[in-house]
């Protein structure tokens, strides 16, 4: 019998592990897109691309919290301006779920610089500049988990 009890138990264990490891990403709708009234249109694109909303929060980062979030970029020339911009208005933080979530979401949003983003991507449609580029997207499963827990407790994730 192919689907015996042991097989089912092993399989479901590995599915649970795989889901946790690879199927979630983190995004923020950045202040430029929120203030322009594009949060709904962007969220619609995200859901139509097959992502499930696991957690959603409208919030505002202090400059200090923005600095912590972008700690990895501390040495980059744009770090100070980026932190000021990201704390200049509200953001919509979201955890998203889909197979291959991190890579598929990067494809959906397009290149960091909207001038280089593919037609039809979120950044091509909504970004104002390389800095005010409408959305954040995690770059790895590990960072997706770190960034998600930066904004959401376990009981805020569904």
136 counts as catalytic = yes
Does 141 bind ligand UDP (CB under 6 A)? Our answer is: no
Kindly state the smallest distance separating residue 18's Cβ from ligand UDP, in Å.
24
Write the DSSP string, 48-98.
Answer: HTTPEEEEEEEE---HHHHHHHTGGGTTSTTHHHHHHHHTSS-EEEEEEE-
Kindly state the smallest distance separating residue 69's Cβ from ligand UDP, in Å.
10
Query: Which residue carries 């264990």 as its tokens?
Result: 13
Kindly state the smallest distance separating residue 120's Cβ from ligand UDP, in Å.
17
- Return the C-alpha torsion angle 139, 144, 146, 150, nearest 10: 110
- Residue 141's Cβ-count burial label (10 Å; 0-12, 13-18, 19+) is middle
- Residue 51 contacts residue 27 (beta carbons within 8 Å): no
Among 7, 15, 17, 78, binds ligand UDP (CB under 6 A): 78
Binding mask 110-139 for Mg ion (x = CB under 5 A): -----------------------------x
Q: Which stretch binds ligand UDP (CB under 6 A): 15-23, 38-46, 89-97, 126-134?
A: 126-134
- Using CB under 6 A as the binding rule, the residues of this chain from 14 to 73 that contact ligand UDP are 73
Among 29, 42, 82, 83, binds ligand UDP (CB under 6 A): 82
Helix (H) or strand (E) holding 28: strand 24-29
In the complex, the residues that contact Mg ion under the rule CB under 5 A are 139
């Amino acid at each position: 019998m192919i689907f015996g009890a042991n097989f089912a138990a092993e399989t479901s264990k590995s599915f649970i592990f795989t889901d946790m490891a690879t199927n979630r990403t983190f995004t923020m709708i950045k202040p430029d897109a929120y203030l322009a009234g594009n949060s709904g249109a962007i969220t619609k694109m995200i859901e139509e691309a097959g992502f499930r909303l696991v957690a959603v929060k409208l919030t505002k980062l202090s400059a200090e919290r923005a600095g912590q979030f972008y700690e990895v970029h501390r040495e980059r020339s744009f770090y100070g301006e980026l932190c000021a911009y990201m704390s200049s208005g509200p953001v919509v933080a979201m955890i998203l779920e889909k197979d291959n979530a991190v890579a598929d979401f990067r494809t959906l949003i397009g290149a960091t610089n909207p001038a280089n983003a593919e037609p039809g991507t979120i950044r091509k449609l909504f970004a104002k500049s390389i800095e005010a580029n409408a959305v954040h997207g995690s770059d790895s499963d590990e960072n997706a988990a770190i960034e998600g827990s930066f904004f959401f407790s376990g009981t805020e994730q569904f």
